[in-house]
Amino acid sequence: MGKYLAKRFLYMFITLFLIASLTFFLMKIIPGTPFASANKLSPAQMQIMKAKYDLDKPVPVQYVTYIGKMAKGDLGISFQFNNTPVSELMFKRLGPSAQLGFQAVFFGTLVGLVLGVFAALRQNTWVDYGATFLAVLGKSIPNFVFAGLLQYYVGVKLGWLPVLFWKGFEYTIMPTIALSMFPIAISARFMRTEMIDVLGTDYITLAKAKGASFFEIAFKHALRNALIPLVTVLGPLAVSMMTGSLVIEQIFAIPGLGEQFVKAVSVNDYPVIMGTTMLFAFLFVIVILVVDILYGIIDPRIRLSGGSK
Amino acid sequence: MKKSKFSLLLVLTLVFSLFLSACSGSKDTSGDKEKGESASNVKQEIKMLDTSEIPTMDTSLAEGSTSFTYIANVGEGLYRLNKDHKPAPALADGKPKISEDKKVFTFKLREAKWSNGDPVTAEDFVFAWQRAIDPNTASPYGPYMMNGKIKGANEITEAGAANKEYDLNTLGIKALDEKTLEVTLEQPFVYWEDLFAFPTFYPQNKKFVEEKGKAYASNAGNLLYNGPFKLTKWEGTAATDWVLEKNEDYWDAKNVKLEKISVNVVKDSNSAVNAFEAGETDMTGLLSSDIVPEYEGDDRMVSWLEPTVFWLKMNQQNKALKNVNIRKAIAQGFNKKDLASSILNNGSIPANYFVPKDFVEFDGKDFREKNGDLIKYDVKAAKEAWEKGLKELGVDKLEIRYLGGDTEAAKKTDSYMKNQLEKNLPGLTVKLESVPFSVRLERDNSQDYDLQFAGWGPDYGDAISFTDLWLTGGGSNRMDYSNPKYDELVKKAQTEYATKPKENWEAQQEAEKIMLEDAGVAPVYQRAANILLNPNVKGLAIYNYGPDYGFKWVEVKGE
């Protein structure tokens, strides 16, 4: 296990380095000026501004400088928010996004799971059709439509929940529901398919023959095995949800990362683009590792160190 | 498990019924549940929404209207834009003494305090202005506002760019004593009051700024205030909410009625309207134009015409666009009235000019009153010019690139323009290029476009902020427009007529005519702005340039 982890960490480090390098050069290819007042700057001023951010140097030199600074934990300062350190911008925004993403994935998976399991157990009945219909809806209706409807009817018309902002738990309910439509749909579909597969296997027949109860079969034997593919999807899904949803954040005025990242790309705020990309990448590799470890726990047949290799 | 099954069903039913009810939902937006505000003893507090975070509160670095708005409400300069949008002495104790040649201004400062108790001194102005021009600061607006206007500014910028030595003390600002400030202009100009009201020219407390170093202006605690309000909550540029409260130490505090302004950032226009309807806010940010028609005639919507004009820049590095007839054909070849009324549909008006309406006046008359419509939509004239132009070029068809924005609204406008031009000018193919703002700016800089849909809003209240755009080789020209007659008139307005309002006025009107006779640019429309505002909130000052709003005179009235 120790050896396995050491190897994985080394790979993670290399992956991150490659992502950083690739992003850096790709980002420099994006056309556009990072200066909001570019149409008002004289050539002399442009020269001064570029020098301030090292943009007057050749790209390879900028790259070496950036990687060197990043190794020391310095992510630079934002262009659009004059002189604000990128790390400060990012970490202030990560909290709300992470909370919202976590709640949405948690709630969504739970609902989707139940939906999928029951659909499988009651295959080709109204329960199955209803669940499938909902899953299709959840996947096909864009979440901004859903968010807009929730905001207008539940917030403005009925006044049950706060219309927008991020000031306490009740403020998180509507965005969570809106964001969870996708995880609900995904996990419901996955669970249904996998459960049906698993329920057809020999060991389930055996369990039935041994006289195990319906619920025992469904939840003790079938569910655990059916979970494996879901875990594979859920890890990356959780990361992408926890790093912010542009649309949901805009509609509910949530101070999250998603909006900030998209804006940074569109205004060529290089340090913020790099910082946020690296944060996403870091979370991804960590989650992938966690998922691999989880496999072993859920299904003892999967061995981490790869046996006799 | 049974229980979770039922609660699940419940949630799903709820969600599903929501979806269904939305399909049949009526579009009734007149929520009438927010009537219960106490009529007597009205709290002097407002809640408002803004569409962006504050990028900076440092006057030396500020470059956008959001920054300018909050800086102007928590700070103050020699002058301040008053209720009626006119600059009036603020920290300056009355009007300055002006030298014979109208270049040297001597200001007496009034007794005023920073929020830490320090007096505001002449030295604070010197420090702030020097900091804004210092190449080490790399300020966008410092040099932009000072170069060519404040003596010595240009030289400092040029030296900084060339990595040569410079002396900040050569900038035309001196503290004669603690309360006397001497400002020297590069050359006289009439709109100097606007300049001294602009946030870039506000003072900064030297001791405080130096003490805070990099942390200066990074949050509410790392700032000093000398204006009508103080920021009492602002966690820095990442913050999406902040609070302004009345500054009791402000010299004119007795005229400030409003006690508190709570601001939240909402970027989505629909969400802002929902918040307004739910009574969560008294004021929204600018409404996107699809919402405006819904509130037509509603007394909660406040609308005004901004002095921002949009036009097609025609890059004369393109051979076809160098031809005046081709340019004339394009400039007259699209229906701006229909664009304004059916595509924009937010109160924007067609522009047949480039110096906006309701912007500057002389002798009680608006600039547009005499200069009127200079280049109009005229299919016949456009077609004639087009034929002539094609003949002169010796071709029978043209393909022209069109550089536009990538927002939904921009794409709508641009495809309308393409349609109109291709329909009215046979043989023309318009190739749309929809790019983000930052890309458009870069391609404007490098003049990599044929037609470009662009706009301009002024930074001070003089027509020169528009006419100087098109000077030969001018910083914002970037389309190779050049006419010696135009240059001469505008240069005269800047120098010889700089202090003769009448001649200045006439020269600029003449210049505008010449430029549009050349069809140097194809004006499209002048933009209108719309917000929702609680009708009980009175006295909000809405500005044409610099800050968006002034809250100093706001008062909340009972029902």
Poorest-pLDDT segment among A295-304, B126-135, B151-160? A295-304
Whether residue B496 has pLDDT greater than 90: no
Using the predicted structure, report yes or no on whether residue B7 has a pLDDT greater than 60. no
Contact B306, B328 (CB under 8 A): no
Q: How confident is the model over B237-246, as a mean pLDDT?
A: 91
Give the residue from A114, A98, A115, A67 showing the smallest Cα distance to A271. Answer: A67
Closest CA to B353 of B502, B463, B205: B463
Contact A255 B265 (CB under 8 A): yes
B444 contacts: CB under 8 Å, gap ≥ 6: A38, A39, B313, B452, B454, B478
**What per-residue confidence (pLDDT) applies to B20?**
41
Is the pLDDT at B31 greater than 90? The verdict is: no
- Kindly report, residue by residue over B508-555, the tens digit of the pLDDT: 999 999 999 999 999 999 999 999 999 999 999 999 899 999 999 999
Tell me the pLDDT of chain B averaged across its residues: 88
pLDDT > 90 in chain B, percent: 66
Domain B312-528 belongs to what topology? Answer: Dipeptide-binding Protein; domain 3 (3.10.105)
User: What pLDDT sits at residue B17?
Assistant: 45
A 286-305 near B (Cβ less than 8 A): none
Averaged over B205-224, what is the pLDDT?
92
Beta bridge partners of B311: B454, B523
pLDDT above 90 (res B171): yes
Tokens 């944060």 — which residue? Answer: A279
For residue B501, what pLDDT is reported?
A: 86
Beta bridge partners of B299: none
Which residues make Cβ contacts (< 8 Å) with residue B243, sequence separation at least 6?
B231, B232, B233, B234, B260, B261, B262, B263
Q: How far apart are CA B502 and CA B497, in angstroms?
A: 8
Q: What is the pLDDT, as a whole number, of residue A304?
A: 55
B421, two tokens: 């031009």
Query: What phi and psi values does residue B407 have, to the nearest 5 degrees?
Result: -80, 165
CB B556 within 8 A of CB B258: yes
Q: How many CB atoms lie within 10 A of CB B555?
A: 15
Q: Which pLDDT value is given to residue B35?
A: 41
Given a cut of 90, whether residue A258 has pLDDT beyond it is: no
DSSP B48: E
Q: Kind and range of the H or E element at B142? A: helix B141-146
CB B548 within 8 A of CB B65: yes
Is the predicted pLDDT of residue B97 greater than 50, yes or no?
Answer: yes
Q: Write out chain B residues lying below 8 Å of A251, CB-based.
A: 268, 270-271
| Tokens linked to B541 | 């000052």
Q: What is the fold, at CATH topology level, of the domain defined by B41-265+530-556?
A: D-Maltodextrin-Binding Protein; domain 2 (3.40.190)
pLDDT score, position B514? 93
**Do B110 and B251 meet the contact criterion of CB atoms below 8 Å apart?**
yes
Contacts with A41 from chain B: Cβ below 8 Å:
140, 143-144, 475
H or E element at residue B525: strand B521-532
Q: Given an 8 Å threshold on Cβ–Cβ distance, is A149 in contact with B476? A: no
Q: Is the model's pLDDT at A30 over the cut of 70?
A: yes
Least confident of A74-78, B184-188, B193-197: A74-78
Q: Give the model's pLDDT for residue B512.
A: 93
Sorting pLDDT into bands at 50, 70 and 90, what band is B329? very high
Residue B5 scores a pLDDT above 70: no
Q: Is the per-residue pLDDT at A61 higher than 60? A: yes
- Percent of chain B beyond pLDDT 70? 93
pLDDT at A300: 66
Chain A residues with CB-CB distance to B268 below 8 A: 250-251, 253
B436: nearest Cα among B405, B401, B402: B405
Q: Is the pLDDT of residue B6 over 50?
A: no
Q: How far apart are CA B157 and CA B147, in angstroms?
A: 8
Rg of chain B over all Cα atoms, to the nearest angstrom: 26
C-alpha angle B2/B5/B8, rounded to 5°?
Answer: 150
Q: How confident is the model at residue A228 (pLDDT cuts 50, 70, 90)?
A: confident
**Chain A 120-149, CB below 8 Å of chain B: which residues?**
134, 137, 141, 146, 148-149
Query: What is the arithmetic mean of pLDDT over A42-70?
Result: 87
The Cα B497–Cα B499 span in angstroms is 5
**C-alpha distance from B378 to closest chain A C-alpha (Å):** 31
- For chain B, how are helix, strand and coil distributed in percent, rounded to 5? 35, 20, 45
The question of ipTM being above 0.85 is answered as no
pLDDT of residue B300: 94
Partner-chain residue, chosen from A38, A80, A250, that has the shortest CB–CB distance to B441? A38
Q: Provide CB contacts within 8 A for B498, sequence distance 6+.
A: B102, B187, B188, B189, B190, B504
CA distance to B102, B115, B275, B540, per residue, from B554 (Å): 36, 22, 21, 5
Tell me, what's the pLDDT at A193?
86
- Encoded tokens for B324: 């005046």
Identify from A30, A37, A39, A151 which residue to disrupt to test chain B contact, counting B C-beta atoms within 10 A and taking the largest count. Answer: A39
In b/e form, how buried is each residue of B218-242, taking b as 16+ CB within 10 angstroms? bbbebbbbbbbbbbbebbbbbbbbb
Lowest mean pLDDT segment, chosen from A171-180, B223-232, B238-247, B320-329: A171-180
Query: Please, which pLDDT band fits residue A124 given cuts at 50, 70 and 90?
Result: confident
CA distance B218 to A82: 10
* Strand partners for B175: B181
Report the C-alpha gap between B434 and B550 in whole angstroms: 35
pLDDT over 50 (residue B32) = no
- pLDDT per residue over B423-476, tens digit each? 999 999 999 999 888 888 888 888 999 999 999 999 988 899 999 899 998 778
pLDDT of residue A137 exceeding 90: no
Looking at residue B389, its amino acid is G
Chain B residues whose beta carbon lies within 8 Å of the beta carbon of residue A152: 22, 25, 274
Task: With CB atoms and an 8 Å threshold, state whether A155 touches B268.
Answer: no
Which of A244-248, B9-13, B141-145 is the least confident region? B9-13
Q: Are B231 and B237 in contact (CB under 8 A)?
A: no
Fold for domain A88-267? MetI-like fold (1.10.3720)
Over range A42-50, report the average pLDDT: 86
Half-sphere exposure of B244 (CA within 13 A, CB side): 28
Q: Which residues of B486-513 are buried (b: 16+ CB within 10 A; e: fewer)?
A: bbebbbbbbeebbbeeeebbbbbbbbbb
Q: How confident is the model at residue B48 (pLDDT cuts 50, 70, 90)?
A: very high
Give the closest-approach CA distance of A124 to chain B in angstroms: 18
Residues B69-82 have a mean pLDDT of 94
Q: Which candidate, B397, B464, B539, places its Cα nearest to that of B84?
A: B539
d(CA A117, CA A123): 10
Domain boundaries, chain A: 88-267
- C-alpha–C-alpha distance, residues A292 and B271, integer Å: 41
Q: Where in chain B is the domain with CATH 3.40.190.10?
A: 41-265+530-556
Q: What share of chain A is helix, strand, coil (3-state, %, to 5)?
A: 75, 0, 25
* pLDDT interval class at A211 (50, 70, 90): confident
Q: How far apart are CA B95 and CA B84, in angstroms?
A: 18
In terms of CA atoms, which chain A residue is nearest residue B458?
A40
Residue A96: predicted pLDDT = 87
Residues of A in contact with B271 (CB under 8 A): 151, 163-164, 250-253
- Does position A306 have pLDDT exceeding 60, yes or no? no
pLDDT of B111 > 90? The answer is yes
Residue A210: HSE in the Cβ half-sphere, 13 Å Cα cutoff? 10
Question: Smallest CA–CA separation between A92 and chain B, in Å?
Answer: 7
Using the predicted structure, report yes or no on whether residue A150 has a pLDDT greater than 90: no
Question: Does residue A308 have a pLDDT over 60?
Answer: no
What are residue B49's DSSP bridge partners?
A: B264
Q: Per mean pLDDT, which range of A91-100, B107-116, B347-356 is the poorest?
A: A91-100
Encoded tokens for A39: 């149409």
Answer whether residue B136 shows pLDDT above 70: yes
Q: Which stretches of B162-302 are DSSP H helices?
A: 192-197, 206-212, 269-277
Query: Which residue carries 């430029």 as its tokens?
Result: B515
**Which residue ranges does chain B devote to CATH 3.10.105.10?**
312-528
